[in-house]
Amino acid sequence: MRRPAFLLLLFALAVPFGSAVAVEVASSSTTESRRSTFFADQVDVQAWQLDDEEAARYARLMRGIRGSFSKPNISPLEVLGIHARSAAERRRYAERLVKLLYEDTERVMAFEREVQAAWKRLYGDVPIIDTAKLPPDQRPWSLDDLAGKRLAAFVSTACAACERGMPRLLTIAQDERIEGMDFYVVDTDKDEDIRAWARRHRIPPEQVKAKRITLNRGKALFARLGGRTVPAIFARDGDDFEPVPALSATMEARK
């Protein structure tokens, strides 16, 4: 536990100057020791293949802004890579992390194959999850459920989930099973902002001209529908809008 600054000052004033220097060095050494202890309690050094210098630097970084800004389970290699002191060091940590991720994926997949084989041996063709028995709102979502309908997607120009979900929404918009997709931008009434948003996501102009995709102001309509958060997907029949929570949830999950 770090001593408050005013206590260190009082202590320094109470001893000769030379002793104060020795105390400061000892205090620094003690702090580094505590940081190492903190690290040892939190992370398996051998599992992450870290040397002593890397371990101490990781502990020091986690006691600073990185420990406040990042989730507690951020890996040591990510911390060291984010705070790399050169491009070469950043690349080295990235490659070490990818190597460990690859090895762990291989282990997970190997065990998953064994689980599938064990299920087959013990229970034959009985499905692991019978989706037909799930409540409607928990069943896997399928575009077949919306065949022949037109979709309305309410989005924002400043929404992380909307940004990440746009590639999938555009793929759905071009699927022949649906009639098309109407995008409603809820955070601006300026047509130029909406056109800029469309260009950023490379919405095909020819599909807009063909009305396969439409671009619309959506603030008023979204409020009338009782909308609160975006992205929100609806199936529309003329002026009737029916929420598609399963599809909206898949977009939310990408935040």
3-state per-residue secondary structure call for the chain: CCCCHHHHHHHHHCCCHHHHHHHHHHHHHHHHHHHHHHHHHHCCHHHHCCCHHHHHHHHHHHCCHHHHHCCCCCCHHHHHHHCCCCHHHHHHHHHHHHHHHHHHHHHHHHHHHHHHHHHHHHHCCCCCCCHHHCCHHHCCCCHHHHCCCEEEEEECCCCHHHHHHHHHHHHHHCCCCCCEEEEEECCCCCHHHHHHHHHHCCCCHHHHHCCCEEEEECHHHHHHCCCCCCCEEEEEECCEEEECHHHHHHHHCCC
For residue 131, the model assigns a pLDDT of 52
For residue 137, the model assigns a pLDDT of 54
Per-residue pLDDT tens listing for the chain (255 residues): 444 443 333 333 333 333 333 333 334 444 444 444 444 456 788 889 999 999 999 999 999 999 998 888 899 999 999 999 999 999 999 999 999 999 999 998 899 889 888 988 998 887 766 555 555 555 556 788 788 889 999 999 988 888 888 998 999 998 999 999 999 999 999 999 999 999 999 999 999 999 999 999 999 999 999 888 899 999 988 888 998 877 776 665 544
For residue 253, the model assigns a pLDDT of 53
**CATH H superfamily, domain 143-252:** Glutaredoxin (3.40.30.10)
- The domain locations on the chain are 143-252
pLDDT in tens, 1-20: 444 443 333 333 333 333 33
